């Protein structure tokens, strides 16, 4: 991946993202009446004229589920910009991360793309990705985003990309029909992890041979990279830990070789082996919830879109992920970028702004299920149509955020961490074995710190 060199990369103090900043930016997440309904709104910058010659731009995304939205935005944009065409390419997120990381340095990428800051922070640091032009920088700083989001996209004093959606803000999905059948109150979802495990045990179903045929809770037990590590942090954060944490001097070290990390791994081990409420042989993730092969799932808002198209008869609701020592969720502003080799950069940037106009932010949720990120949009129509979005759009008091650190080496940290976690989840010897769990967590954390040392960003408190 780009940006895994050995020299130190730090966010300047004035731009460093802190949990305090995100907590202050919490509250009701953008449920305002600033936008006027569902009509397309004018851009803050003057619109660009395509001109007599047709313009065709290329757009890459690692989220196939938002490709219909991208095409819809292009159709709407072309209505006022005759001659504009957009060709799209989508793939799995991991494939797109690899593709972008190889293409941008070689100047063989698209005109526009969306991707995680995990990738673009290295590209920005190597001057391979242009910062936002003045008009775009003014737009993202104009008040349409929380300051925490602006800080998130700022690197070395410059902003990069236009925030489109929040790839985090995960919540608990639960099947209300299954709750009722199991004697659980669907109006009282689990509020603690003890309650979550107790509910999962009641919701799990077995055949006559005691094989699990419906999981009580679907956990991320396999996969690679950020997916496995991110989901581990859903629980580790609640217990007081996180993958890496920053020192007062601005360095980084692992934040899970502690009771929080051990509690999180124990939760997984208990779920798979002790109480057997999940099993690697079963269907997992959104597919399991949509097909009603699991009763509960912790995931982002896009699952609602999956349910609308693939499981319209599923009776479900959403609620915040339970709390332990802390209560919060990951926030992950996901942005649109224009490459330095774009054939028509002015039009590319203008279209990118159009994609995040208030009406298009509503369209994004309707089309894909992902949570839009502007704060000046009226979400009333969305909540009336699909009340399950409330847990994602209306942030309860006392629930904070945690965020991906601005460290290029974080990609490798999560990848190596995921490999070890997947192996640990299959290790039945860790049941009621606190010493074994502690050794597993410690070995994983040592590898995390070694990666940070190799990148030149490691430091102890």
Reported as a pLDDT band with limits 50, 70 and 90, residue 152 is confident
Closest CA to 303 of 217, 219, 369, 384: 369
Handedness of CA 271, 171, 316, 303 (dihedral sign): negative
Topology agreement, domain 38-167+334-377 and domain 171-330+405-454 = yes
Which residue, chain included where needed, has tokens 């309707």?
Answer: 366
Apex 104 CA angle, 45 and 147, nearest 5: 40
Q: What is the CB neighbour count within 10 angstroms for residue 78?
A: 16
Check whether 423 has a pLDDT greater than 90. yes
Check whether 20 has a pLDDT greater than 70. no
Q: Which two tokens stand for residue 293?
A: 């092969």
Region 405-430 average pLDDT: 93
Q: What is the pLDDT of residue 332?
A: 84
Q: What is the CB neighbour count within 10 angstroms for residue 224?
A: 13
Region 49-78 average pLDDT: 89
Q: Note whether 178 and 188 are within 8 A (CB).
A: no
| CATH 3.40.190.10 applies to domain 38-167+334-377 | yes
Reported as a pLDDT band with limits 50, 70 and 90, residue 197 is very high
Q: What is the pLDDT of residue 417?
A: 96
SS3 letters for 378-434? CCHHHHHHCHHHHHHHCCCCCCEEEECCCCCCHHHHHHHHHHHHHHHHCCHHHCCCH
Check whether 42 has a pLDDT greater than 80. no
Check whether 299 has a pLDDT greater than 90. yes
| Whole-number Å distance between alpha carbons of 319 and 304 | 13
Region 181-196 average pLDDT: 98
Q: Which two tokens stand for residue 240?
A: 């007081």
Check whether 9 has a pLDDT greater than 50. no
Check whether 12 has a pLDDT greater than 50. no
Check whether 31 has a pLDDT greater than 70. no
Mean pLDDT of the chain: 87
3-state DSSP helix/strand/coil % of the chain, to nearest 5: 40, 15, 40
pLDDT tens per residue across span 85-114: 999 999 998 899 899 999 999 999 999 999
**Between 246 and 119, the higher pLDDT residue:** 246
pLDDT tens per residue across span 348-394: 999 999 999 999 999 999 888 888 888 888 889 899 999 999 999 88
CATH code, 171-330+405-454? 3.40.190.10
Q: What is the pLDDT of residue 166?
A: 87
Q: Note whether 103 and 88 are within 8 A (CB).
A: no
Cα atoms in the Cβ-side hemisphere of radius 13 Å centred on 232: 35
**Between 105 and 122, the higher pLDDT residue:** 105
Region 312-323 average pLDDT: 97
Closest CA to 388 of 318, 321, 322, 338: 318
Q: What is the pLDDT of residue 33?
A: 31
pLDDT tens per residue across span 206-235: 999 999 999 999 999 998 677 899 999 999
Check whether 13 has a pLDDT greater than 60. no
Q: What is the pLDDT of residue 17?
A: 33
Domain positions in the chain: 38-167+334-377, 171-330+405-454
Q: What is the pLDDT of residue 146?
A: 82
């Amino acid at each position: 991946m780009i940006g895994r060199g050995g020299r130190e990369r730090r966010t300047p103090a004035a731009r460093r993202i802190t949990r305090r900043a995100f907590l202050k930016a919490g509250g009701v997440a953008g449920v305002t009446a600033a936008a006027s309904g569902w009509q397309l709104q004018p851009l803050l910058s003057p619109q660009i004229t395509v001109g007599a010659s047709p313009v065709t731009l290329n757009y890459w995304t690692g989220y196939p589920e938002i490709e219909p939205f991208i095409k819809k935005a292009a159709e709407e944009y072309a209505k006022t910009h005759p001659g504009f065409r957009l060709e799209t390419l989508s793939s799995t997120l991991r494939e797109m991360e690899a593709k972008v990381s190889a293409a941008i340095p070689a100047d063989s990428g698209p005109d526009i793309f969306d991707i995680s800051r995990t990738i673009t922070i290295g590209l920005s640091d190597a001057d391979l990705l242009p910062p936002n032009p003045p008009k775009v920088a003014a737009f993202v700083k104009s008040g349409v985003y929380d300051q925490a989001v602006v800080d998130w996209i700022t690197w070395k004093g410059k902003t990069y990309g236009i925030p489109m959606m929040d790839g985090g803000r995960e919540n608990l999905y639960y099947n209300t029909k299954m709750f009722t059948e199991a004697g659980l109150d669907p109006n009282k979802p689990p509020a603690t992890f003890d309650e979550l495990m107790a509910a999962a045990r009641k919701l799990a179903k077995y055949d006559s041979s005691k094989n699990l045929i419906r999981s009580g809770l679907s956990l991320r037990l396999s996969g690679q990279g950020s997916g496995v590590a991110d989901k581990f942090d859903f629980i580790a954060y609640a217990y007081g830990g996180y993958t890496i944490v920053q020192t007062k001097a601005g360095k980084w070290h692992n934040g899970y070789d502690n009771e929080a990390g051990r509690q999180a791994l124990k939760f997984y081990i208990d779920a798979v082996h002790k109480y057997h409420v999940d099993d690697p042989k079963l269907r997992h993730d959104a597919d399991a919830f949509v097909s009603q092969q699991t009763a509960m799932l912790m995931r982002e808002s896009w699952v609602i879109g999956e349910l609308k198209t693939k499981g319209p008869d599923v009776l479900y609701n959403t609620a915040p992920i339970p709390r332990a020592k802390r209560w919060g969720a990951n926030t992950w502003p996901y942005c649109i970028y224009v490459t330095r080799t774009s054939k028509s950069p002015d039009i590319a940037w203008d279209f990118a702004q159009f994609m995040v106009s208030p009406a298009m932010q509503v369209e994004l949720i309707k089309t894909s299920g992902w949570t839009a990120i502007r704060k000046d949009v009226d979400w009333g129509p969305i909540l009336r149509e699909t009340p399950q979005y409330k847990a994602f759009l209306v942030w309860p008091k006392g629930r904070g955020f945690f965020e991906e650190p601005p460290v290029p080496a974080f990609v490798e940290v999560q990848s190596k961490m995921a490999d070890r976690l997947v192996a640990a989840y299959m290790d039945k010897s860790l049941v009621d074995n606190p010493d074994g769990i502690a050794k597993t967590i410690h070995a994983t954390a040592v590898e995390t710190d070694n990666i940070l040392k190799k990148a030149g960003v490691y430091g102890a408190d």
